[in-house]
Structure 1
Amino acid sequence: FTPGPLNTSKTVKEAMLSDVGSRDVSFINITANIRRSLLTIADADSTVFTAILLQGSGTYAIEAVFANALGRQNGKALIISNGAYGDRMAAICKQGAYNYRMIRVDETEPFDLVAIEKELREGGYTLVAAVHCETSTGQFNLIEELASLVSRASDAKFFVDAMSSFGAVPISLKDTRIDFLVSSANKCLQGVPGFAFVLAKISTLESYKGRCTSWSLDLVAQYEALEKSGQFRCTPPTHTMLAFQQALTEHAEEGGVAGRQRRYTENNRVISEGMRRLGFRTLLHDQSPYIITSFVYPKDDHFDFEDFYGRLSKCGQVIYPGKVSSADCFRLGNIGDLWPADCQKLVDHIKDALHDMGVHVPIVY
């Protein structure tokens, strides 16, 4: 019950039982199919956007966008953050000595569009970056509104971290002014860890040629190699991609984004209603609709999170600690190969764990 790496189907795991050469024609075809499928899921025009696969976690792809957009030029990024993953963008820019500024609001609050517009009109920014679903809390940010604001108030390019939303939350690259969107294999598309991908507006990407100061993170060079030969420049994560090919098949069979959205929404309903019956309070007033939910620790002397976590883990129920500075909380994800019956089982185990710990139910705050 984490936001990734997450549960995968047996058939996705079995897809990794074959070995394949990275320069084999069959693998080159799989790479091409993955790239096409990602654009389809994003409702993107293949003459306008391209999909670039990059070895490593989602953070590698996040850093690659900054390295290409801000590397060898006088660009300036505005990072808008209300959580740990927006903060990580700022940490990447600081480490890379890139010119940036961050607008930071509280982890439990939405973006301040008035403040953002003022900063955009005055700041001379060339790139604006934000997280779609802030996985640290479950906060959902209004990317469509922000994209419209960026295009209205500046000439900056717009970069979205859609790590925990892509594949289950509708995002159309035809309808918004997004230049870069990043996600990972092991999130809502239900693959295994090993690579991330950047959906990039081709005209913007090509304008960054020669800017990247990192050889490995050069998105333009990776794009050119994929277009020319269908191959990665360096050894690709072959088994991860075999699993992802199967995961994409299962995503389509479930009904694509809409089908996955329906199941995750039902998962979230079962968890949220069950937790409310136990008396738990959510961290946010307006939670993520169906990705991950943060619950505040009960004010009970018998509640100890490490004990609580351990009891659930022994039952095969793995949850996530909180990742916020303003409150003691834990997170329950409902994405991955999880179904409503699995979610009800989790709620039942939580009730049993609280009882065995001597915590009063319903929870008292």
Structure 2
Amino acid sequence: MLLLIPGPVQTRPEVRAAMAVDIAPWDRDFAPEYIAIREKLRDLAGGVAGRHVCLPLQGAGHFITEAALRTFVPAGTAPAPGRLLIPMNGAYADRMARLAREAGREVVLLPAPDTRGVAPEAVAAALAADPAITHVGVVYSETGSGIVNDVPAIGAVVRAAGRRMIVDAVSAFGALPFDLSAQPEVDAVVFTSNKCIEGLPGLGFAICPVERVAASRGNAQSWSFDLADVYDTAQRAGWGSFRFTPPVQALHAFGVALDIFLAEGGQPARLARYRENCRILYEGARALGLEPYLAWEHQGPIIALFHQPRVPGFELQRFVEALKRRGVLISNFHNTEAPTMRIGCIGHVGPDEMRFALNALRGALEEMGVRRRDAA
């Protein structure tokens, strides 16, 4: 089965095989492997040894995002309460806002369409209008629609305004460029094991400046979601130590995926492959009569959305099942107000797999009686 969703992604056989081992996470023989993963990820994020740290956490992307919000944005009861501005141009911005609110953080929404990246000028204006805003939370790659927000440009206006930033790079890290050393306004860039590094689910990571972590002790109001506590544990027990039992097999497999990622050429090579995947899909789906949700100039390389065919009787779940019978699995839901279909471009896939998917799309559309002129 060809898996074309924005995560978990299609993985290599070597990565899946790495799960088939029994490991004691506290074993001293495993500690060097864990330390090496943390250091490689710090370096990939543009971090510097001694100045930046990799802080892992068990769970999904929502877990590591909530941990960053809790750790770095002080609650309203703090001596200096935080206030978080979130550009609202996608489903995962909505989720960040909910995570922050339910953690008791004050949220300011910056409305924006989900068909293009938010304008840095709009962020700058919002910061100028509200001096109480301490942080900006931004989703780098919005898989709800496929757009990419310009994190370096947004970071520049945040830095100029003397504020801080948290970057949800869950579906961006490893493909889209990021340099923490060039963005000192960032408190945390967060991501997971099962997206562009092409590992398996189970782990989130935050790369953070040491001084910001140390200054954030006591903010989290949660033991499980306290990144400062993750840091303190590493300081006390060593960088190969865990606070709680981790998904250690997934971590071991992630190390294999990370080494493959580096051997393939790292972020530039992965971005080039994903961009080509997306181009083939975008152009091929248009040739089948499907209407893209985004204009090409706003289309990110991670996932492409297409409007569902406007014909009587078309049902997304039936379409998904028709594709599955042809060996391709896509998402059976959408996050946009308009009915769309979501097709991922990431994972251990290339041009041949994308062309195979297009043939499956053609067959599924024909099975459902959707003619080319009906699709758009």
Q: What's the TM-score, normalizing by structure 1?
A: 0.96
Conserved 8 A contact 1:81-1:131: no
Correspondence 1:309 to 2:309:
no
Describe the superposition over 1:261-296 as per-residue Cα deviations: whole angstroms up to 9, x where unpaired.
Answer: 122122112211211211211111134332101101
Q: What residue in structure 1 maps to residue 102 of structure 2?
A: 95
Distance 1:325 1:259 in 2: 30
Correspondence 1:330 to 2:341:
yes
Q: What residue in structure 2 maps to residue 283 of structure 1?
A: 293
70-79 or 4-13: bigger deviation: 70-79
Q: What residue in structure 2 maps to residue 245 of structure 1?
A: 255
Q: What residue in structure 2 maps to residue 11 of structure 1?
A: 14
Distance 1:79 1:90 in 2: 7
Q: Following superposition of structure 1 onto structure 2, how do residues 220-231 of structure 1 map, counting pairs within 5 Å? A: 220-228=228-236, 229-230=238-239, 231=241
Structure 2 letter corresponding to 1:107: D
Distance 1:355 1:334 in 2: 23
Distance 1:354 1:14 in 2: 35
> Matched residues, percent identical?
31
144-153 or 64-73: bigger deviation: 64-73
Q: Following superposition of structure 1 onto structure 2, how do residues 24-43 of structure 1 map, counting pairs within 5 Å? A: 24-43=27-46
Correspondence 1:175 to 2:161:
no
Q: What residue in structure 2 maps to residue 213 of structure 1?
A: 221
Describe the superposition over 1:56-84 as per-residue Cα deviations: whole angstroms up to 9, x where unpaired.
Answer: 11110100111112245211111122011
* SS across alignment from 2:29: helix
Describe the superposition over 1:20-61 as per-residue Cα deviations: whole angstroms up to 9, x where unpaired.
Answer: 111112211111011111012112212321100001111101
113-122 or 289-298: bigger deviation: 113-122
* SS across alignment from 1:29: helix
Displacement of 1:161 in angstroms is 0.3
Distance 1:196 1:137 in 2: 22
Q: What residue in structure 1 maps to residue 138 of structure 2?
A: 130
Describe the superposition over 1:207-257 as per-residue Cα deviations: whole angstroms up to 9, x where unpaired.
Answer: 101222001111111112123322111112110101001001110111111
CA RMSD of aligned residues (A): 1.5
Correspondence 1:58 to 2:61:
yes
Q: Which runs of 5+ in 2 are unaligned?
A: none
* SS across alignment from 1:331: strand
Conserved 8 A contact 1:278-1:363: no
Q: 2:159 pairs with 126, 142, 151, which one? A: 151
Conserved 8 A contact 1:84-1:323: no
Q: Which runs of 5+ in 1 are unaligned?
A: none
Q: What residue in structure 1 maps to residue 52 of structure 2?
A: 49
Q: How many residues of Structure 1 are paired with residues of Structure 2 in the alignment?
A: 364
Structure 2 letter corresponding to 1:248: L
* Cα separation, partners in 2 of 1:354 and 1:186, compared to 1, 3 Å: same
Distance 2:182 2:360 in 1: 43
Q: What residue in structure 2 maps to residue 21 of structure 1?
A: 24
Distance 1:106 1:148 in 2: 21
* SS across alignment from 2:42: helix
Conserved 8 A contact 2:308-2:375: no
Structure 2 letter corresponding to 1:318: L
Q: What residue in structure 1 maps to residue 271 of structure 2?
A: 261
Structure 2 letter corresponding to 1:29: P
* Cα separation, partners in 2 of 1:168 and 1:325, compared to 1, 3 Å: closer
Distance 1:262 1:77 in 2: 34
Distance 1:338 1:168 in 2: 14
Q: 2:201 pairs with 193, 207, 227, which one? A: 193
* SS across alignment from 2:17: helix
Describe the superposition over 1:280-334 as per-residue Cα deviations: whole angstroms up to 9, x where unpaired.
Answer: 1111113433210110112222533221111012222111245334311011101
Structure 2 letter corresponding to 1:262: A
